[in-house]
Structure 1
Amino acid sequence: MFLGRSRRPAGDVGRGLTVRTVAAGAVLALIVGGAFAVLLASIADLRDVRLREQRSAEVLTMANRLERLIIDMETGQRGFALTGQEDFLRPWREAVAAFPGQASALERLVAGVPAERARARTIAAAGTSYIDDYSVPLVEAIRRDPARARTAEIAEGERRVDAMRADFDALVATALSMVRTEQRQSEAAAHRASAVGVSGLIASVALIGAYSGYITRAVVVPVRRVAGATRRLADGDLQARVPESGAGEVGVLEHGFNTMAVTLARQRAELAASRSRVVTSADQARRRIERDLHDGIQQRLVSLVLDVRAAQARLPPDRPELAEPLDRLAEGLGEAVDELREISRGIHPAILSEAGLGPALKTLARRSAVPVELELDVPGRLPEPVEVAAYYVVSEALTNTAKHAHATTVTVRAHLADGMLRLHVGDDGVGGASTGEGSGLLGLADRVEALGGTITLVSPPGEGTALSAELPVAGG
């Protein structure tokens, strides 16, 4: 049985479901947080790789730009040397003016890479030397003596340009190598980030699902089970119980519910037994009073009536004035006997004790002020408490009908089947009856329910009244 388990110690509550839930939530947060931390690290790594790749691409662009400036210088001065036309010096002047700034930009761009930084410095120094020591002096010399364009100085310029182009090629090769390396690293970082992201998402969903499943099993299902049992208990099913399988506070809740249900069932059983004892005790007292009245005062009054009649018979002929007082006394005593019989019958009908429910109901029907259609199917005697309760149900219903219903007919049915005595009293009166305070039907409900039975009243205004009762009969 569920209640056979011992009560959990109070300390288990503090270390129960709350601790498990907090611990599970902390583990879930740690794992999900770790997965996202790895994902963020991968994203940061990918960003750094992309920045280095972008820097390498900018190095390539800057190197190509510087090489183009050197070529523009060499082409411009060669065209000027061959033709003597100043137009060829316009791109040369632009290249000479732009080269120092572009070279400085290249050096700043490769400042973090030692090999590229050394190569950029060599290119900057070679370019500056080419401009200051060769190109500018050559242009000035050609202006003074155009014949110098055919001297060995032209060959020297070509040699210098070829040397710088070799340095450019080396720098470009290094930059291209780094670009390819950065691209590979970028692809690897992207793959890692994607893999970490997908893995983190899958792990997070799985962990959240597992956590939700745990909460559902540990909290939601037991609480819903307790809620359902609570509804059954509220509807009157005091046998509703729940398994005490929950952890921590949920287990305490289940145990508390079962304890409450057992207590309520015991208290209802004690209340029903107490009500039954009260009703039985009252019936026994009423029967004892009826018997005392019948065997005591009633018999004494009957004896007095007989004595008065005997005195009348022995009255002397010469005393006619005593005949009338004695006759009034005899009649008064007779009326007192009749009234006492009515009182005795109201306290506890003797015919119910002597003949049973069937004859007692027939007597009620004959004495009813409203015509009664009686249908009886009650063979033999029933337990005394059942007969008494059934009698008073019918008696109170007939009394209310006569007083309030303004009915023309009443139907009374009593049927015993399947261990249950079913009573029905219906009329065609004005309806509107209730079992509220001040109504005798309220006491009938207490009497019927004390025996484990039920009583129902249906009395819509203008449509008559129907009173039904069911009383369990042991061995019926």
Structure 2
Amino acid sequence: MIATGLLALMIGATFAVLLSSIAELRAMEHRAEQSENVLVATNRLERLVVDLETGQRGFLLTGSAEFLQPWQQARAAFPQQASALEDLVAGSTEQHARAVRLTQAGTSYLHDYSEPLIAAAQRNRAAVNVLAATEEDQRRVTAMRTQFDQLLAAESQLAAVRQDSVDGVARRAIIAAAAGLTGSILLVALFTWYLNSRILRPVRRTAAMAGRLAAGDLSARVPGRGVGEIGVLQRSFNTMAAAVEQGRRELAGSRVRIVAAADRARRRIERDLHDGTQQRLVSLALQLRAGEAAVPAEHPEVRAQLADAARELTTALDELRELSRGIHPAILTEGGLGPALKSLARRSTVPAEVAVEVPGRLPEPVEVCAYYVVSEALANTAKHADASTVWIDARVADGRLHLSVRDDGRGGAAAAVADDRGGAAADRGSGLTGLADRVEALNGTISVASPAGAGTTLLVDLPVQPGA
């Protein structure tokens, strides 16, 4: 009887522990699903902020009303999405405080900055300082993204703690099952198998995929065959990952479209200047020269005035050509990258040597990007490097354009990029930052090596074939 009682007590205790463990696992699954919902809501809110930024920037750069549609949609959806995020994290004081700060920052960005800026640009876009607005926009959005990262990191840490709790509960359940009587071994083994295969393994797999997703692997997915809440969790995770991946693709696509729109605008302005204003100025100069030649010799003062006017007009025409070349060089459109880089080298105030191994023409966005990289690099060298020579090398290999600009100056450009305190260093850093945005929009890479006293080397790698 005592043995029977002990056996019954042991079996009852074993099953009590197992039932308690199952209840805890169910609760932890619910909290894990809650964390996934928080991550999804946070990413959706961040995507709305990105839509506000890209729509605003596109409208300021191009003046095209089509960029206002995603901006308006994001503005309309932001309050509801922010409120949803605050509701999701209401159970955590710290997370709720972070969500409130995010909502306040986003609301301030929208009402105190973005809406007045868009309204001003709609009234008179020429009166808006696009460069200053872009820098201020980047500063504000970067600050908000930092807050997004903090909230996501805190939620991921909470999820990790909950996963540790899940593992602890699982270990306790297995130990309790192993301590059961010999007669209950089969039952305990079957239940452990069910627990491991239907709950623990999917949760661990989902946690592993969440780690990969957080590390930047946007292709991470889990099988959606789980039962009950596990299946819901898996499908929610896959939906979230797909949304994040789609958002990343859309962001990359919007960057490409913005850069392409800006380049088309530059090219159109250059063409209008060349075919319109420059031609009229040339015709007017010729008329002045003809009028000068037709003035009788007894009126030398009239001839001198016409000669002065013709010279001033010729100077203005030269300045207009230089301005037109800076907007979008005609030689790049007509001759390609090689002649354009050689033209930059000839006009450089620092002696420049050019080596180009580019067979034929490259895609227009690649040529334009490479041209402005070299142009900015030469300008930085002339302003800051105190160099005696610049070496420009451009070659195509393995479906990619490899571009380097190297000087023998005093270096320190890498520090200038990180310096945001103003002055020449900040100007230099903002120029390189703009180049990085243009290069990354084409799926390229850019790096700067600039040890103090050892010159500066700018390396750019751009794909010249689709999918390269």
**In 2, distance between residues paired with 1:420 and 1:29?**
73
**In 2, distance between residues paired with 1:463 and 1:293?**
42
User: Which of 404, 407, 415 in structure 1 is aligned with 2:395?
Assistant: 415
The alignment status of 1:381 with 2:364, answered yes or no, reads no
Could you tell me whether the CA contact under 8 Å between 1:377 and 1:415 is conserved in 2?
Answer: yes
**In 1, distance between residues paired with 2:206 and 2:15?**
38
**Matched AA of 2:446:** I
Q: Which residue of 1 aligns with 2:416?
A: 433
Q: Which residue of 1 aligns with 2:116?
A: none
The alignment status of 1:358 with 2:349, answered yes or no, reads no
The alpha-carbon distance between structure 1 residues 249 and 405, as it changes in their structure 2 partners (threshold 3 A), is farther
**In 2, distance between residues paired with 1:377 and 1:338?**
31
**In 2, distance between residues paired with 1:472 and 1:292?**
31
Q: Which residue of 1 aligns with 2:450?
A: 459
**Matched AA of 2:404:** H
**Matched AA of 2:433:** L
Q: Secondary structure of 1:342's match?
A: helix
Q: Which residue of 2 aligns with 1:233?
A: 213
Q: Which residue of 2 aligns with 1:446?
A: 437
**In 2, distance between residues paired with 1:211 and 1:460?**
63
Q: Which residue of 1 aligns with 2:91?
A: none
User: What pairs up with 1:11-50 in 2 under 5 angstroms?
Assistant: 31-33=11-13
Q: Which residue of 1 aligns with 2:258?
A: 278
Shift of 1:363: 1.1
Could you tell me whether the CA contact under 8 Å between 1:218 and 1:246 is conserved in 2?
Answer: yes
**Matched AA of 2:245:** A
* TM-score, with structure 1 as normaliser: 0.55
**In 1, distance between residues paired with 2:225 and 2:399?**
39
- Structure 1 unpaired stretches of 5+: 1-27, 37-197
| Segment of structure 1 superposing worse, 291-300 or 422-431 | 422-431
Q: Which residue of 2 aligns with 1:287?
A: 267
Could you tell me whether the CA contact under 8 Å between 1:407 and 1:430 is conserved in 2?
Answer: no
**In 1, distance between residues paired with 2:309 and 2:15?**
112
- CA RMSD of the aligned region, Å? 3.0
The alpha-carbon distance between structure 1 residues 435 and 339, as it changes in their structure 2 partners (threshold 3 A), is farther
Q: Which residue of 1 aligns with 2:156?
A: none
The alpha-carbon distance between structure 1 residues 449 and 200, as it changes in their structure 2 partners (threshold 3 A), is closer
Could you tell me whether the CA contact under 8 Å between 1:374 and 1:411 is conserved in 2?
Answer: yes
Bigger relative contact order, structure 1 or 2, given CA contacts below 8 A and separation 6+? Answer: 1
Could you tell me whether the CA contact under 8 Å between 1:435 and 1:442 is conserved in 2?
Answer: no
**In 2, distance between residues paired with 1:474 and 1:29?**
73
Q: Which residue of 2 aligns with 1:471?
A: 462
Could you tell me whether the CA contact under 8 Å between 2:255 and 2:441 is conserved in 1?
Answer: yes
- Structure 2 unpaired stretches of 5+: 1-7, 17-177, 421-428
Q: Which residue of 1 aligns with 2:101?
A: none
Shift of 1:460: 4.1
**In 2, distance between residues paired with 1:203 and 1:226?**
35
User: What pairs up with 1:117-266 in 2 under 5 angstroms?
Assistant: 200-202=180-182, 213-266=193-246
Q: Structure 1, residues 362-384: CA drift from partner, whole Å, max 9, x if none?
A: 11122122222323221100111
Q: Which residue of 2 aligns with 1:349?
A: 329
Could you tell me whether the CA contact under 8 Å between 1:425 and 1:468 is conserved in 2?
Answer: yes
* TM-score, with structure 2 as normaliser: 0.56
Shift of 1:207: 6.4
Q: Which residue of 2 aligns with 1:339?
A: 319
The alignment status of 1:304 with 2:290, answered yes or no, reads no
The alpha-carbon distance between structure 1 residues 208 and 423, as it changes in their structure 2 partners (threshold 3 A), is farther
**In 1, distance between residues paired with 2:328 and 2:348?**
17
The alpha-carbon distance between structure 1 residues 371 and 216, as it changes in their structure 2 partners (threshold 3 A), is farther
Q: Which residue of 2 aligns with 1:315?
A: 295
**Matched AA of 1:310:** A
Q: Secondary structure of 1:388's match?
A: helix
Question: What number of residue pairs does the alignment pair up?
Answer: 288
The alignment status of 1:327 with 2:307, answered yes or no, reads yes
Could you tell me whether the CA contact under 8 Å between 2:11 and 2:181 is conserved in 1?
Answer: no
Shift of 1:343: 0.5
**In 1, distance between residues paired with 2:211 and 2:268?**
45
The alpha-carbon distance between structure 1 residues 236 and 410, as it changes in their structure 2 partners (threshold 3 A), is farther
The alpha-carbon distance between structure 1 residues 29 and 388, as it changes in their structure 2 partners (threshold 3 A), is farther
**Matched AA of 1:469:** V
**Matched AA of 2:448:** L
Q: Secondary structure of 2:460's match?
A: strand
**Matched AA of 2:316:** A
How many percent of aligned residue pairs carry the same amino acid? 58
| Segment of structure 1 superposing worse, 443-452 or 227-236 | 227-236
Shift of 1:313: 1.2
User: Which of 362, 366, 375 in structure 2 is aligned with 1:395?
Assistant: 375
Q: Secondary structure of 1:236's match?
A: coil
**In 1, distance between residues paired with 2:384 and 2:318?**
26
User: What pairs up with 1:8-87 in 2 under 5 angstroms?
Assistant: 31-33=11-13
**In 1, distance between residues paired with 2:286 and 2:216?**
60
Q: Secondary structure of 1:456's match?
A: strand
Q: Secondary structure of 1:386's match?
A: helix
Q: Structure 1, residues 285-329: CA drift from partner, whole Å, max 9, x if none?
A: 111110111111111111111111111111211101123222221
The alpha-carbon distance between structure 1 residues 33 and 281, as it changes in their structure 2 partners (threshold 3 A), is closer
Q: Secondary structure of 2:416's match?
A: coil
